[in-house]
Every structure is written in structure tokens, then in C-alpha cells.
Structure 1
Amino acid sequence: MQHRLKALAALCAAAAGAAQAQTEDMAGVVVVTANRNEHASINVPAAIDVIGADRIRDGQMRVNASEALVAVPGLVVQNRQNYAQDLQISSRGFGARSAFGVRGVRLIADGIPATMPDGQGQAATFNLDRAQRIEVLRGPFSALYGNHAGGVVQLFTEDGKAPSSVETAVMGGSDGTRKVDISAQGRQDGFGYVLDASRFDTDGYREHSAARRDQTYAKLSFEPSTQSKLTVVASGLRQKDTQDPLGVQWATWLRDPRAGEIDASDTASPKRTFAERYNTRKSIDHQQIGATYDQHFGENRLRVMAYGGNREVIQYQSFSRAFQAPPTHSGGVVDFDRDFHGAAISWLDVRRFASGVLRTTVGVDFDHSSDDRSGYENFVGATFGVRGALRRDEKDVVSNTDPYVQTEWQSGAWQLSAGLRHSRVKVEVNDHFLGNGNDSGNLTFVRSTPVVGVLYKAAPSLNLYASAARGFETPTLNELFYSGTGAGFNFGLRPARSKHLELGAKMQLDERTRMDVAVFEVRTRDELVVDVSSGGRTSYRNASKTLRQGVEVSADSDLGGGFSARLALTALRAVYDQAFGAVQEGSRLPGVPRGTAFGELAWKEQNGRFGAALEAVANTRVYVEDSNSEKAAPGYGVLNLRANASQRSRGWFFREFIRLNNLLDKTYVGSVIVGDSSKRYYEAAPGRTWQAGITAQYSF
């Protein structure tokens, strides 16, 4: 770690020397995620990147957040080619173990949580068609958002604006992929609206991976006065019988990356896969609505937020204990109906203090979810993949109440920041199915997470910063549901506790080139690791200490002549710092690559009518389980090419794009299922694929 700090110091010194000729403070993209109020990103003592609307929308089908987030250092976003399990998102190694959904990283959309109070979230609920920007915060300051450790991904959608317009987009691509989107937006007399609806279909790259996703979205904004604003956002996500291809063993992947794993125990159909035999699939029906209200009193501000919704999920998994008696598990069918709601209030106070400006935010967050959860056998007689006998019936309630305070003092070249959040997360289980014992009980996790940071403007074009925090991760409901291979609710899990340190530099190397560098270290106790994973069901346990040390570098440059470049590099050493069981000290954390890289060379015609870009994405190998003894998923590097065009004619605006992914047709493992007890760790990425689309917009 010392040699990395020395390298950072040398780089900062070189930038400081070049900065002497600069006479003006550099402009930066405005962000709000770290300090909860507007700042140029260069003036924030934290690693934070912003993905703008052009990168999210241009040359993309806007189906998966991975399309845009691949350009962020420190973040690994893997498309599993499995819409039943959502994306795999990890930040600085946190979240890589998640069997489905996103954990360890907090998701927020338009100020409203997309992460449940237990720490589990779904990126599929993000509406990328109307996205304005995505802010990605890593490191210590994410501790001020509560129960997670890795970072915060916050989506902001566009507001309605004049003139009013309607828009439709039609897109398609390889493997029967197609999408239709229609939207309308406008603004008049202080009232703005954005409406959007889309349908996405795919036959899937992998066997048994077809999916249909319907999304709806509405955003209404009101400005009762010049000092106030009310925003109401409603969204819906529906996926019916989304097929789950599952993972495969290494030999199967080598034989055919598209293939599923053959179920050797299926004597009736010897060539049938687990996914086919059990018809593994998931249905999701998710709706929510939320509102935020801002009232300004001069520089001070009051913000109030409230939200609520419902999520219904039915999932058919690929395991069964058909001949086990008495029943000691929840069966192969998961069925839950979740109601959730929450509220938040905060006050921003701005005043002059000791020859500087003091900004203090005080607030409290409250979140609550209640699940009516059932489990069933996934067979009736000799037929699998159907709902059978009841094996689980319970009510699960999770709630949190988190007061916090965050303050920042700025004077001259110095900016000092500090914050404290007190989290109280309560889990309650009321078991109604007593044939396998009574799992009723409750858990309460309480933790205070402080953070401090300092930023020094060493030169007009160079800012240096340091920050530190304590963080924690409680087990999610999905991690608490099972103990080992067959027992019930796991009340013995403890939250993971972490200490974060970060040093960074943000610099303008010249008027066209911006570079950010961050060096970090995270030490964690009671790390949550996979105990047993099989057929879609995963149980967890607490392990020993872990250590994460890394460097992140991002650079953007305007090369002239319409050319621009983007570079994002990550080097991460994530290891067990203490042996446990059969895992030796120094073993790599599974699911976490040692290095990732993204590079892009883009060109845009002077009038913006034509553009093209070449992208390069590379990951090092990834271990699949804690002992590192199984075959690691090999590293890979792929090239992607995109081109776009646009035309205007009176009130019409047309945009077209074409994209070729994996240009050289590489065969590689795109993501892994950590710790699968059947060694079905590997999920294949597609070979060369194409996408194309056209958008037509009419403004009134």
C-alpha cells in the first residue's frame, strides 16, 4: 500500500507543477450524493463519478444499468444474461456475493430508495429511458447512507421542459431482442410532466433465458413558488415467467457456453437440463409511488420525502427434497407479497462561521417492509416445476430508523466535512408453519457510523482530499432465510463491520483533460460469506477478517477535432486477512477481479449529426469460492463499436444507432455464482452481437 501512496503523491506533485499556470478554478459537474447539497464534483472529498444522459442513452438499448456503469472505476456491473436474477453490482468488492439483486450498494432513484431496509435492491426498477444522469459514490462517505458498505448509485431522471414533445423508439438486436418505448413530456406555468412506457423482449443468449419486461413511469413536478418544488414519481415493473438459465459447471461451459447443465438424476429424460426439468423461472410485479418536497428559506432548505409500494415475486428454483421427511426446508417455490413504505425529513442550515461558510444537514430516515412469505414444493407427483405442498408460511418485517447529522465548513483553500448516522435495523419473523419447528423471533442491529473528510485546494487545478469512516452491513432477508443445507431462519448471523480510509486527488491536467485518482483501504470483521449455495437457494455465515486495498483512476480528455477519450482503471487486492475453516489467509475474495479497465475513443461531427466510438472492456480472472481451489473464471478483454446519427426537420428530431458488442467474438465467462455447492458457478457472456434502433421525437 505504501508504494501506491508514493505513486499518488508523485502524480499529485506533477499535477501541482502544471497547475501553476492556471488562473481560474476549474469547472466541475454538479453532484449532490456525497454531501446532500450541490457541489462541483471536484470539490467533494470522495470518489464520485457522474454518467451523463448521452452515455446512458446514445448507442444503447437502455435495458440494463451495466450499459452505462461499465465506465465507472471501482464498480463492477455484470449482466448475467439472466433477467430472473437482475444485474450483479459490486463496489470495491462489496456486493459481489449476491446471488440475485443488489446488496452492499445502496440504490436511489430521484431521491427515493430503490433499496429495501434490509439492504437488498433491484437495479431493474431504474428507468433508463428518461435518465438525466447517474451519480456513483464509493468509499467512506457512503456510510452516511446507512446499512451497506460499498457505495451509492443514484439515478436522476429528467424534468418536463418546454416545448412539449412526444417520442417513440424501436430497437432490436441479436437473440430475438427487441424493445419499444413511448414517452411524452412538457412544461407549462410551473407544472412539468414526464410519461414513459416500454416493453422489452428477448429470446435470451443462454438456453432457457427468455424474458419480457414491461415498465411504466410518470414524473410530475409542481412549483408553487420560486422557493418551493413538489415532485411526484410513480413507476411499475412487470416480468411474467422470466426464465432462469442457472449456472453451469466448467466442463459444460467449455463444451457449449449457451448450454444448460444436464440433470444426471433425470432418468426419464437423460438430456434434460436442471432449468428445463424444474422450469426455473421468476415472476415480478413491482409498483411504487413517492414524493419529495423542497422549500427554500434563503440559503436554508427543508426537504420532505415519502414513498410506498408493493412487490410480488414468485420464483421456481431447481432443487427439491421430494423424499425428505419430516420437511426441514422451505421447498423449491418462493412466493412473497411485500408492502413497503418510508419517509425522510432533513433540514439544511447555511451560515457564516469563523471566516468561512458552515453547511449543516440534520435529518432522519424511516423505512419499513412487510412480507407475507410462503414456500412450496416444486413438484406434484412425478411432475417438477409446479407448485406443490406448502413448506413455509411466515410474515417477515424489517424496519429501520436512522437519524443523522452532516456538516461541512469551507474557508479559503480548506474544506472540512464530518457526519454521524445512527442506524437501528429490526427484523421480525412470525412463523405460521410449525411442521419443521417454530422459526419465530427477532433481531435488532444497532450501529453508529461516523465519517470525516478534509479537502485542500493545493492549486487552482488540483484538489487533494482524505476521508475515513466506519460502516456496517446487516444480513439481508435473503441471507437470513436459510441455515446451512436445510435448517430454518438463521438468527445467528451478525452484521459485518468495516473501517474505510481513502486518499485522493482531483486535477485538471490542462484545459481539456480531467483526472481523478483515489487510493483506499477497507478492513472488515465478520464478513458475510456464502455457506451453501444450490439450485438458487443460498445460505450465509460470518467469516473472519477481510482486507481490501486498491487504486482507482479515471480520466476524460477532449482531444480536439471532435475526438474525446475516457479511461477508467481499477486495481483491487481483496483478500481474507485471517484464515477460517479451509480458507487460508491471503485467499482472494470470490467474485472480485483484481483489475478492471474501460477505455473509449469517441468521435462526434462538429454539428453533432454523426458520431462513433470504440470501447474496450477488460477484467482479470475471478475466483468462484472462498478457498480459491476451484477453476477461476478467466480474465477477458472485449471491444465494442457503436455509431449514431441524427437529423432535424421542422418539429421532428430523429436519432439512429447501431452497436456491435464483443467485436472480435471472444468466448468468456461474464459472471459467476459464488460458492455454488454443485459447482455450477459459471454464467456465459454472449459472443458477437448487434443492436440497432431508431428514435423519432416531435416537439409542439
Structure 2
Amino acid sequence: MRVWPLLPCLSALFSAPVSAEADDASGITVTAPRLERSLEREPAALTRLEGRALAPARSGRNLGEVLEAVPGIAVTNRHNFAQGVRLSSRGFGARSAFGIRGLRLHLDGLPLTLPDGQSQVDTVDLDSVVATEVRRGPASVPYGNAAGGVVDLRTAEGFTGPDGARLALQGGSHGLRKAHLRVADADEAGAWHLAAGDLSQTGHRDQSRVDKRLARFSTTRLLAGGRELRIIAGAMDTPFAEDPGGLTRAQWEADRGAADPDAVTLDAGQRADQQDAGVIWRDPASLPGEIRARLFASRRDFEQQLPFVFPGAENRVGYQRAFHGLRLAYGDDRRWGGVPVTALVGLDADRQADDRVRFVVDEQRRVQEQTVDERQTATAAGLFARAGFGLGAASEVTLGLRLDRLRLAVDDRHAGSVDDSGSRTFTEPSGGLGITRQWGEQTLYANATTAFESPTFVELADPDGGGGMNPDLEPQRAVNREVGARGPLGDAARWELALYSVRVRNELIPFERAGRDFYENAGSTRREGVEAGLDWAPAAGWSLRAALTAADYRFVDFEDREGNDYGGNELPGLARWRGELVARRDLGPGGLALAARYQGRRFADNANEVRVGPRTVADLRAHWRRGGWRLFAAVENVADVDYPANIRVNNDAGYYFEPAPGRALRVGLAIPLR
């Protein structure tokens, strides 16, 4: 699919006449771009979900529930709590062997993404999420490293919704047991919100049990002069989340509930606990513009038994992590020489310190030797500036610049034959130019942006075992070009459309050796596609959200370490076609919903020899309210489709597939507590 030749045709629309009535047609405000403005003024592909756009009967177990029907976003691995959900935007993030890579994630304005580019979302209380903003495409200018897309999650503060307390209970297939308690209150001086949850389930496969608890508290104080102070604290404890591992195609077809035999032998899985806290300050009174600041800190203790075993296999890992940082920013909105200008300048500084160990464990689960004892530190600093310039009544140009410096260092404290100490420093500039133009109530935009993504500590491991960090592995760098449009269709619908072309140099590509993932750079890749979204209320009581993505992700120039030439092949793990549909019917005190997801065929390897066919999965949901009580139920995977929930890309032993659960039932009850 070649969409870039179409972009100049669409960009020609920006020279067309504009109605004198061009105004802000919506009260929606976008906060993720760090230059607060109405959605219509932002020159990028952005989607915001809140209120009725979020599933009313969601289970609160995986991130996909709050990202339904967002164009360009793929969510996989929704059911393996030990490896974590996979999230990709325009192909960024698809390479991840575990967790999330290539995208920036924030929770209530605080980062979930580490300086080295890794993200974990197991600390997010998804039951409390009330709004989600998603920016697709490279966005390093406002965010820095690993910004192939941005997801900004917002949880309840206590200002809206009923005061008091509510307890929600759920149960269902595969031993699901879940409880969630919410307490909130508000007055003229501010609000507070407390939530706590407990989840356990046996899982749909052998070796897939999970037991997890989390709690989150926030309070917002409204002070004189419009100043605002928000304090947030959270904790997560996962005593165990088992890992059933991947299966070969033959194993999957024989029994989709099976686990990798090595995973059972070793009792593979993880345990983790984390505590975090943050302070966010907003001051619009001390200076002509607005001062914003944030401070945060977190600590994480983690241990994981990996699902493979052979002589010398380094199959147990652990770390203790400290992550903290700050952001200072100043924004102003005024006229300069008769031109309206909205500007933001700021500084980001983050630090990550991991005390990491690795062991060899045998078939009897006995530790044979320790192979790694090292301290890993990542220090990141970024300076950024972004400004929007009004051009007449209906157009605006946005410029952005950023400079990042990232230092990754390893201090090897293990008395082995090879010293793995070393460091890598990356200094990366980023830039962006965008333009928006109003055509009546419709918004047209175009942009060109750059982004970079560094290798993470895990990815910098040297596959040749020479000691230190892999000296040949470089950050990947992307150039994104995009045009799009969005706006209302009468009073009952909103639409969005984006066409993009991304070129990436030094794409980071995984390969597996002796059960462990390593990484190398491809020469270059290209991503081209179309993203379309529709939010429509065709009649009273009916609503529909739909998203369609058609894309082509390919290696342009890539010869791997063994001399295999994959130029022209599709990038593994990515489908050319994806679609989602959520249709709802309100029925007085209750409602029904159908959610369907389609994913086209894809490949599991660079050679494009292991093909994964297309699939469509549908869920049915229902809810009913009476007073403050709410009853809800869902049938997931109604048609009992047998499909992989995740693909382990380029697995050298053929264990590519993690089967998804079949048909499953879930019921719940929310009870007001007075």
C-alpha cells in the first residue's frame, strides 16, 4: 500500500477558501500534547475517549478495554499478566518481547515510561480510568525518547460522579474473582478519590493463575488565584502471575489450554510490588502565563522465572528499581506583533536505577549459579519548546524543537570472567512542524515530525557475549509525514481521517538465541497507512464507534546477522488490516453493547514464512441500573474463536503462539455503600 503520493493532493485543501464562521466547534480540550488547546487546533492524529465512549461493563483487567475503537492502535496479549499487554501505534511497540516499548504512557500526568523506553501498566487502576487521550505517530518533540505514540490515561479525581462509596464485585469463567472499592468526596476547596482492587483468576491455560492487588489515592486542592495542587499515591502487589509461555503451532492446534512444558516444570511466572507517589502543581497567577511542575518517585521489586530450561540457561531474573524525576514548564498565550501566539517551554529530567540479577535454574527449580549482578542507571534530560502561531481567523502553524540526552550505564559487580560494565550516551534532537485550517466546522491538518527511540537495557545485551553493551546497536530514528481531517457530521456524529507515511532508520528488530531475546538494527523500514474513525448516534438510544486501519509495514533494507536479506518483507507481528466496532443500545435504566475486533493476516517471523490468519472476535455486554445499584454481565469471544492472543516474534524454537481464551462469561454487581 502506497499512500504517500496521495498526501500532496489532500494538503492542497489547505489553500481552499474558508468559511467566515470557522470557530472552535467543540468544547473538547486536549492535554496530552502539552500545549493545552481545543482538539480542532491540534495538527496531529488525536482521539479522546471519555464518558459514554468507555465501556460501561468493562472488567478492569486489561488496557484494551479503555482503548476500544481507536484508529491505528493495536492491543494484544490481553491475558498473560506475567508478560504484560502489548500496545502498538503505527507499528511502534510491536517488537516488544514483554511489556510496552516505543510508546509513551502517562497516568494522571505522571510518566509510566522509564528513561530507557520501557513501560509497565500493571499499576494502573483501570476501573478508575475516566478519560483516555491517544496521539498516534512519532511525537518526540513534546515527549522525548520512545514516542512513537502517546497514551494519556486520566483517573477520577472526585469532582464528578456520586460522592460516597461503591463496591463492585465480579466473577466468571476461568476462576475470575474481582472486587473494587471506590470512595470519593468533593467540596469547594477540592476533592479526593480513593480506590482499591483485588483480582484473582486461575486462567484459561495451564500455568496462568494470577493474584493481584492495587490501591490508589489522589487529592486535589483548589487554592487562591486559580492555583491547583494534586497529590497522588499508589501501590501494587502481585504475589504471583504465572506465565504459560508460547506454543508451537502443533501444540496450539492440539490443545489451546496447554502451557509450554518447561513453563510448568519451572513454575514460570513473576512476582512484583511497586509503590509510587507524585505531586502536580499548576500556577496561573504568579507570572503572566502559567507555571506547571511535577515531581514523582516510584520503587519496584520484581522477580521472574522465565519459561525455558537447558544447561546454562539464564532463566531467572530480578531487579529492584528506583525511578524518579521532575518536569518544569511555563506556558503563555498572548499576541506578539498582532499575531496570537501560544507557547510552552520546559525541562524534563528523569533517572532510573536498577539493581539487577540473573540466575541459572535447573529442571528441579534449583539455582545452579548466579550469572549477573549489576547496577543499571539511565539518566535522561530534555529541553523542549513548542509554539502555535495564529494565521488569520482560521489557520494556525505549530513549531516544536527538543534536545534530549540519555546516558545508559552498567556497573558489573559480578566476579565473572567477562566484565559487562560499560555505558552508552545518546544525544538526540527532534523537531516538528504542523498546520491546521478550519473549513466551517471541519479541521484540516498536516504535519512533519521526527522521533527517536533508544534501545532499552534489555535490548542492549551483547549477543556475542563480548562484555559491555552491544556496541553496534543504535537508536532508531523516524520521520513522520501526515495529513488528516476531523470534525462533526451534523449533530449526531464526529469523524476523523489520517493518512501517514513513516520512514525509520536503524529499526530495532528482535531475534532469539538460546531462549533469550537479543536485538539488531535493520537498515530502514517504511510504514504507510490510512486511519479512519467514526462516532455516531444514528437515533435516540443508539450509538456506534468504529475504527478502521489499513497499513503497509515493510523492511526497505535489512540484512540480518546471518546474512539473510529481508528487504521488501513485511514487518512481523503487524496486520495490514484492523477494524473495531462498538455498537450500543440504551434501554432506559440499562443497555446492551456489541464489541467486535478484526485483525487481518500477519507474519510471526522476518522471513514471512510463519503466517497467522485473520480473525474476528466479538463480545456481548449488558448492564442495568436501579437507584445506585448496577448489575452487569458479558459474554467474551461469543463465537468461541480459536486465535492467538499474542505472537512471540522470531522465536528460534517455533514457540510463536499464545492462545487466547475461548467463550467466557462474566457477571458483576456494583453496590452503593452509605
Structure 2: how far apart are the matches of 1:617 and 1:460?
34
Q: 2:402 aligns with which of 410, 421, 424?
A: 421
Matched, 1:361 2:360: no
SS at match of 2:479: strand
Q: Look up the match of 2:96.
A: 98
Q: Is the 8 A contact 2:40 2:443 kept in 1?
A: yes
SS at match of 2:612: coil
Q: Is the 8 A contact 1:348 1:359 kept in 2?
A: yes
Matched, 1:448 2:429: yes
Query: Following superposition of structure 1 onto structure 2, how do residues 115-194 of structure 1 map, counting pairs within 5 Å?
Result: 115-161=113-159, 164-194=163-193
Query: Following superposition of structure 1 onto structure 2, how do residues 244-643 of structure 1 map, counting pairs within 5 Å?
Result: 244-261=243-260, 273-297=261-285, 300-320=289-309, 322=311, 331-379=314-362, 383-411=363-391, 412-457=393-438, 459-483=439-463, 489-532=469-512, 535=515, 537-580=516-559, 581-605=563-587, 607=588, 609-629=589-609, 631-643=610-622
Deviates most, 200-209 or 217-226: 217-226
Structure 1 unaligned spans of 5+: 262-272
Matched letter for residue 365 of structure 1: D
SS at match of 2:655: coil
Distance verdict in 2 for CA 1:534–1:180, change over 3 Å: farther
- What TM-score do you get using the length of structure 2 for normalisation? 0.94
Distance verdict in 2 for CA 1:305–1:560, change over 3 Å: same
Q: 2:39 aligns with which of 19, 23, 41?
A: 41
Aligned length: 667
Q: Is the 8 A contact 1:56 1:62 kept in 2?
A: no
Q: Is the 8 A contact 1:484 1:539 kept in 2?
A: no
Q: Is the 8 A contact 2:617 2:639 kept in 1?
A: yes
Q: Look up the match of 1:689.
A: 664
Matched letter for residue 277 of structure 2: I
Q: Look up the match of 1:656.
A: 631
Matched, 1:238 2:220: no
SS at match of 1:81: coil
Deviation at 1:180, TM superposition (A): 0.3
SS at match of 1:332: strand
Q: Is the 8 A contact 1:57 1:129 kept in 2?
A: no
Deviation at 1:140, TM superposition (A): 4.0
Q: Look up the match of 1:264.
A: none
Superposed CA offset, 1:213-248 (max 9, x none): 111101011122241011111111111121101011
Matched letter for residue 317 of structure 1: L
Distance verdict in 2 for CA 1:140–1:490, change over 3 Å: closer
- What TM-score do you get using the length of structure 1 for normalisation? 0.91
Structure 2: how far apart are the matches of 1:71 and 1:127?
21
Q: Is the 8 A contact 2:595 2:620 kept in 1?
A: yes
Structure 1: how far apart are the matches of 2:12 and 2:635?
38
SS at match of 2:91: coil
Distance verdict in 2 for CA 1:249–1:40, change over 3 Å: same
Structure 1: how far apart are the matches of 2:139 and 2:148?
10
Superposed CA offset, 1:87-132 (max 9, x none): 0111100111101111101111111100111000012222212212
SS at match of 2:547: strand
Structure 2: how far apart are the matches of 1:10 and 1:292?
41
Deviation at 1:305, TM superposition (A): 0.5
Q: Is the 8 A contact 2:7 2:483 kept in 1?
A: no
Q: Look up the match of 1:265.
A: none
Structure 1: how far apart are the matches of 2:89 and 2:105?
12
CA RMSD of aligned residues (A): 2.3
Q: Is the 8 A contact 2:218 2:230 kept in 1?
A: yes
Deviation at 1:697, TM superposition (A): 2.5
SS at match of 2:270: strand
Matched, 1:224 2:197: no
Q: Is the 8 A contact 1:140 1:467 kept in 2?
A: no
Structure 2: how far apart are the matches of 1:10 and 1:337?
51
Q: Look up the match of 1:268.
A: none
Distance verdict in 2 for CA 1:410–1:697, change over 3 Å: farther
Structure 1: how far apart are the matches of 2:320 and 2:7?
52
Q: Is the 8 A contact 1:342 1:368 kept in 2?
A: yes
Deviation at 1:387, TM superposition (A): 3.4
Structure 2: how far apart are the matches of 1:484 and 1:135?
41
Q: Look up the match of 1:270.
A: none
Matched letter for residue 540 of structure 1: Y
Structure 1: how far apart are the matches of 2:188 and 2:67?
36
Distance verdict in 2 for CA 1:12–1:279, change over 3 Å: farther
Structure 1: how far apart are the matches of 2:226 and 2:540?
43
Distance verdict in 2 for CA 1:314–1:8, change over 3 Å: same
Q: Is the 8 A contact 2:422 2:468 kept in 1?
A: no
Deviation at 1:158, TM superposition (A): 1.6
Q: Is the 8 A contact 2:212 2:240 kept in 1?
A: no
Deviation at 1:436, TM superposition (A): 3.4
Q: Is the 8 A contact 2:505 2:523 kept in 1?
A: yes
Matched letter for residue 115 of structure 2: P
Matched, 1:108 2:103: no
Structure 1: how far apart are the matches of 2:228 and 2:295?
14
Structure 2: how far apart are the matches of 1:519 and 1:10?
9
SS at match of 1:60: coil
Distance verdict in 2 for CA 1:301–1:10, change over 3 Å: closer
Q: Is the 8 A contact 1:142 1:152 kept in 2?
A: no
Matched letter for residue 173 of structure 2: S
